[in-house]
Amino acid sequence: MCPESFKKPVEVRGEKISSSAQEALDFLEACRAEKQWSEEKFHSRQTAVLGGEWTLTFEELEHGARMAWRNNARCIGRLFWPSLRVRDLRHISDPDEVYAALLEHLTIGTNNGKIQPLATVFAHSDSDGPVVRIWNHQLLSYAGYEQPDGSICGDPKNRDFTREAIRLGWKGEGTRFDLLPIIIQKRGEAPRLYPPPTDQALEIPLTHPQFSWFPELGLKWYAIPVLSDMNLRIGGMDFPATPFNGWYMGTEIGSRDLGDADRYNVLPAIAEKMGLDTSRSSELWLDRALVELNASVLHSFEKAGARIVDHHRASSEFMEFTAREMKAGRAVSADWSWIVPPMSGSATPVFHQRWSDLQCLPDFISQPKAWVKF
């Protein structure tokens, strides 16, 4: 549900109910329509909300998580939202148990390369806030070691997290592709440091369909992007520890993670290997190197049997998603700067549309870094 679809506040005994209860009622209305609930079932759930006794059933949790994926304005892969598998681990808040469940998530989600969209839901927030938080932005990511000269060895995006992990006692090998440890914190306790999930990580060395020298660059990436620091909000309830994943669009790795000048910045090295003239931008050496880097990512994942989608297909699938949502009578929330691929944008259909972030709920919502504000 989106803001413009909210109903007038319900009154109980002449008093307006809380905003979270109103959000719950709006969510139940969506469930009734989309799950084709009977009136008896709907009114029973509505009564639970108004009586202050409502907690999500698994059916509601599952559909709410799927709606959150469907509503997320930054995701281009939402055509497949009904296929999201949800693991209900709301009873778990002990960090050791959370860590074990995260390793299971990686194994199930990776699925030997046939990536399965998956969400694992841990304990919800209560009146005192989050019960447990996962510090990592993604369950798999590479360290970014700050050097004496200010440069970064590894992934600059993860500099701050790497610094926190080292502060807690972690020692990596110091390479460009060191998998980071997992840090979990329960409210009222110190954060706990756990080993990097190396056994559960499917890492793919990058090769190229034409360039035999490409492996000399020593590049690789992991097969599954599991976001783990966002808050899942459903019906006025918050689940601040809910790792979830789909599969990669190739340009996320090629254009952003590896190609971006503020990340791994590998385009100059590729251009040199290709023998391109890098003295003038008008030679379009950056563009040529970028295309070949993205070709390498798609080729390598396909060779490894790991599910991935190119940006042209992903854009077409998003337009199909949009058409289906319109047919269902639902507005599509989208952030143009995220939906348009970071390469060949104008060659994709999503570029030529106007998108708006409608801030629909349920959704996966950004929250402060756990080491800054638990």
Q: What residues are labeled active site?
A: 75, 78, 247, 252
Biggest distance spanned by C-alpha atoms of the chain: 77
Which tokens in the block code for residue 307?
């599910």
Contact 343, 284 (CB under 8 A): no
What is the Cα–Cα distance from 68 to 23, expressed in whole angstroms?
Answer: 14
- Token pair 């949790």 in the structure block, residue: 61
What stretch of H or E contains 64? helix 58-71
Which tokens in the block code for residue 3?
């803001």
Contact 308, 202 (CB under 8 A): no
Assign 314 to helix, strand or coil. helix
What is the Cα–Cα distance from 238 to 221, expressed in whole angstroms?
Answer: 31
Question: Interior CA angle at 336 toward 338 and 75, to 5°?
Answer: 40
- Select from 95, 169, 183 the least CA-distant residue to 136: 183
Contact 250, 294 (CB under 8 A): yes
What one-character-per-residue DSSP string does 143-194 give?
Answer: -EEEPTTS-EEE-GGGHHHHHHHHHTT------TTPBPPEEEEETTS--EEE
What one-character-per-residue DSSP string does 316-342 give?
Answer: HHHHHHHHHHHHTT-PPP--HHHHS-S
Backbone angles phi, psi at 358, to 5 degrees: -85, -5
